[in-house]
Structure 1
Amino acid sequence: MTAAPADTSAELEIDRPSVADGAALWRIARDSKVLDLNSSYSYLLWCRDFAATSAVARDGRGEPVGFVTGYVRPDRPHTLLVWQVAVDETHRGRGLAGKLLDGLAARVFAEQRITAVETTVTPDNTASERLFCAFAERHDAALEREVLFDTGLFPDGPHEPEVLYRIGPLSF
């Protein structure tokens, strides 16, 4: 008989990523098998330059087990664009992605007064679709969708269209 994994969500800490987390974020993204994997260098830069608009979940040993990366749009300074959300396989199914997203949005709202969240989701990514629809519901915010980047815009082979999800206005 195999024991179910212990619920360690009480042991998790959510905070800002540091450069030292970059390699772990890259591995979590790679192992997700659904995200477009960026170079390991980009995750290091992200943890340095966009730590204020990103979040990492750490287990009891301080190791990253999930993350959300984002940035405030330069032309829309009240909009947080969520770039990627990923949770290590061992911590999936416990609502960690929602906790990361809620915590990040609340922090950026308090620090930078964002009123909207945007992200893109490919039509085949039902987990992300559920995550962002649930986020909009939890925050009683409107959700609008439109194709941002159609399939033909991607130069590196077949790619699903990226559908823009615009959620807001937000209040915390």
Structure 2
Amino acid sequence: MNAAQAELASCRSGTAKMPDGLALDTPCVEDGAAIWRLARDSRVLDLNSSYSYLLWCRDFAATSAVARDPEGDPVGFVTGYIRPERPHTLVVWQVAVDGPQRGRGLAGALLDGLTARVTDEAGVRGVETTITPGNTASNRLFTAFAERHGARVEREVLFDGGLFPDSAHEPEVLYRIGPLGRPAARV
């Protein structure tokens, strides 16, 4: 086994059980195709190239998370990175949950699990994400996340729709959430 293979084998260690029987885990390169499919099937997310999801699983696995079903297949994910100019800020890039798993709190559990990990490992104290005005599910997800963590939410337009090459793109509203406290118990 070479060093790259050993790294891939070790990426599945340290999973934590989630309340509904799914496991919270760190993504591996082999998960890139499944994560791409989840993003595609969401019909809400901007779909990146399949290659970018493979790179994400390699280079940003420490700041991303997947939910695995009992067979070990990804059924949800959250991708993120530490913002270079703000080293205590996690930027959440995308969150998606497989259709049959929606409505069960999985996206919130993924977000809570990831932020707990990066808070412990990297000293993260805040989260940033962008949400288009028409994405009510993401608005609710991140507003509820802020409430659970006793954090403020500041919103401002980061990228006006006119900046995008495809003229139909809505503006991307930046959500700054923080400082993060301990999450409140779920009812």
Fold equivalence (TM over 0.5): yes
Contact kept in structure 1, 2:128 and 2:177, CA below 8 Å: yes
Match of 1:75 among 85, 94, 109: 85
Identity value in percent: 75
TM-superposition CA deviations, 1:34-80 (whole Å, max 9, x none): 00000000000000000000000000000000000000000100000
The answer to whether 1:119 aligns with 2:118 is no
Ranges in structure 2 where 5+ consecutive residues have no aligned partner: 1-17, 183-187
Q: Aligned partners of 1:18, 1:36: CA distance in 2, in Å?
A: 21
The answer to whether 1:37 aligns with 2:47 is yes
Aligned to 2:158: 148
Aligned to 2:10: none
| Structure 2 length-normalised TM | 0.87
- Partner SS, residue 124 of structure 2: coil
| Structure 1 length-normalised TM | 0.94
The answer to whether 1:135 aligns with 2:145 is yes
- Partner SS, residue 158 of structure 1: coil
| CA apart distance, 1:9 | 5.3
Q: Aligned partners of 1:10, 1:125: CA distance in 2, in Å?
A: 26
Match of 2:64 among 51, 54, 77: 54
Q: Aligned partners of 2:179, 2:19: CA distance in 1, in Å?
A: 29
- Partner SS, residue 131 of structure 1: helix
Contact kept in structure 2, 1:21 and 1:47, CA below 8 Å: yes
The answer to whether 1:169 aligns with 2:183 is no
Aligned to 1:97: 107
The answer to whether 1:85 aligns with 2:85 is no
Counterpart AA for 1:59: D
Contact kept in structure 2, 1:9 and 1:94, CA below 8 Å: no
Ranges in structure 1 where 5+ consecutive residues have no aligned partner: 1-7
Counterpart AA for 2:37: R
**Greater RCO between the two (CA within 8 Å, min separation 6)?**
1
Counterpart AA for 2:63: T
- Partner SS, residue 166 of structure 1: strand
Q: Aligned partners of 1:129, 1:102: CA distance in 2, in Å?
A: 16
Contact kept in structure 1, 2:161 and 2:167, CA below 8 Å: no
